[in-house]
Amino acid sequence: MMLNARKVEAAKGKEKSYKLADGGGLYLQVEPNGSRYWRMKYRYAGKEKRLAFGVYPAVSLADARQKRDDAKKLLAAGDDPGEIKKAKKQALTAAIEIINPFREVALEWHKIKSPKWSEGYASDILEAFEKDIFPHIGHRPIADIKPLELLEVLRLIEARGAMEKAKKVRQRCGEVFRYAIVTGRAIYNPAPDLASAMQGHEAVHYPFLKATELPEFFTALNGYTGSPIVVLGAHLLILTGLRTGELRAAEWREVDFDNAVWEIPKERMKMRRAHLVPLSEQAIAYLQKLKELTGNYPLMFPGRNDPSKCMSEASINQVFKRIGYAGRVTGHGFRHTMSTILHEKGFNSAWIETQLAHLDKNSIRGIYNHAQYLDGRREMMQWYSNFVNGKEA
């Protein structure tokens, strides 16, 4: 008996795979997990062969029958429908590969997406591609990149200990592959399947220091003889609670020395909300030293090779590594250190969360608190600067 829509819909998985015939070689293969696949059995040149038509319900019974009829027409004309299908797929892949290297597609994706992102976030994504992905597979046709090839590139990032970055880069690569698929330039996204093969994180836990570890850390930091610009950046990161990306893309026009406040525009903030940062006496002193070095540039932390771009994402963490704190603390980890110390001291939690630019889900209350808490946060951050510099217990 031929199938009908009700029988197809009612087909459920059993202990073993089984088939429901429709006629003319067409059948529905039902797997133990309940998945249903359309197949056609036929003979060509004396050999029995199989042809796949897709998965139900994406391919309906009517669609499957039409595909069967089309295949029979090819057989009647003396052609093998399986080989015809394979040749079409190869031709499509070849056409895709000729003109679509991964780098070209990724830059196109970035250009379309970046207007919705903060400048810092867009810059970080592009920098990750330029440093960690493009040198290895940027030239490769995007449709030709296999899972193992992408995995090997991601493992190079993991080998540096940058597990969270490897995870984020894999996710961004996945978005590029999805974009390539919907624009007709790829047929498969290998990135999602790699999650289980990577070392990864269950959650993001940035290494951080306890209060008792700070004196020894600052002794090591102040003894570092490398770039004074990066060292000043590290001090400012610690004293303000900023995210690394928010700090390194800073511009001098954002700092009001007279009123001791740093206003970061919403375009550079993760939560897309302008952020006021009260500056302690120590933070002002570090900024004045920094201005002697970079005040002639728009950027507070210009790149070493190209001052029109900010210093690299890894700069501050590299300093921590070189002074013996690899794996013990990161720039982001100092936000945790600040939060822990200030909460233990008993400062207002709302002040602390506002200082760290954590999003208040009540947008009206968040705007109100932004201004309302500034005086309290100014007092809090002066205490914190004194504390980490050993001037107050």
Residues identified as active-site: 243, 270, 332, 335, 358, 368
Task: Map tokens 């700069």 to a residue.
Answer: 315
* CATH 3.30.160.390 residue spans of the chain: 5-96
Q: Count helices and strands (H / E) in the chain.
A: 17, 7
Residue with tokens 């504390």: 387
Contacts of 355 (CB under 8 A, 6+ apart): 241, 277, 338, 377, 380, 381
Q: What is d(CA 158, CA 364) in angstroms, rounded to the nearest whole number?
A: 41
- Range 211-388 classified under CATH 3.10.450.50: no
Residue 392: the pLDDT is 57
Q: What stretches of the chain adopt beta strand conformation (E)?
A: 18-23, 26-30, 36-44, 47-56, 255-256, 261-264, 275-278
Q: How far apart are CA 28 and CA 37, in angstroms?
A: 6
Output DSSP code: residue 133: I
Query: Would you state the structure tokens that stand for residue 302, as one six-digit string?
Result: 């210009």
* Region class of 30: left (phi > 0), else alpha (psi between -120 and 50), else beta: beta
**CA 113 to each of CA 105, 106, 123, 243: distance values in angstroms, whole numbers, following the listed order:** 12, 10, 12, 22
Structure tokens at 167: 């995870």
Where in the chain are all domains bearing CATH 1.10.443.10? 211-388
According to DSSP H, which parts of 223-307 are helical?
228-240, 244-248, 281-294
Pairing state of beta strands 36-44 and 47-56? antiparallel
Q: Where are the alpha helices (DSSP H) in 33-80?
A: 61-76
Burial class of 259 by CB neighbour count within 10 A (0 to 12, 13 to 18, 19+):
exposed
Q: What is the pLDDT of residue 201?
A: 45
CB neighbourhood size of 221 (10 A): 17
For domain 5-96, the CATH superfamily is: Integrase, DNA-binding domain (3.30.160.390)
Return the pLDDT at 272: 64
Burial tier of 112 (Cβ tally within 10 Å: 0-12, 13-18, 19+)? exposed
46: helix, strand or coil: coil
- Digitized pLDDT (tens) for each residue of the chain, 393 residues in all: 689 988 999 999 999 999 999 999 999 999 988 889 999 999 999 999 999 998 898 889 999 999 999 999 999 999 999 999 888 877 766 655 556 899 999 999 999 998 888 888 888 899 999 999 999 999 999 988 988 889 889 988 887 778 888 889 999 999 999 999 989 888 888 888 787 777 654 444 568 888 899 999 999 999 999 999 999 999 999 999 998 888 998 999 999 999 999 998 888 776 667 889 999 999 999 999 999 999 999 999 999 888 899 998 889 999 999 999 988 888 888 988 998 898 888 888 888 888 888 755 444 344 444 555 788 899 999 999 999 988 654
- How far apart (Å, rounded) are the C-alpha atoms in residues 189 and 286? 47
Predicted local confidence at residue 119, as pLDDT: 82
Structure confidence at residue 90 (pLDDT): 77
Provide the b/e sequence for 32-60 (b: ≥16 CB within 10 Å): eeeebbbbbebeeeeeeeebebeebeebe
In the DSSP assignment, the letter for residue 66 is H
pLDDT at residue 202, rounded to an integer: 43
Report the alpha-carbon distance of residue 272 to residue 221 in Å, rounded. Answer: 32
Q: Are 331 and 321 in contact (CB under 8 A)?
A: no
> Under CATH, which architecture does the 102-197 domain have?
Orthogonal Bundle (1.10)
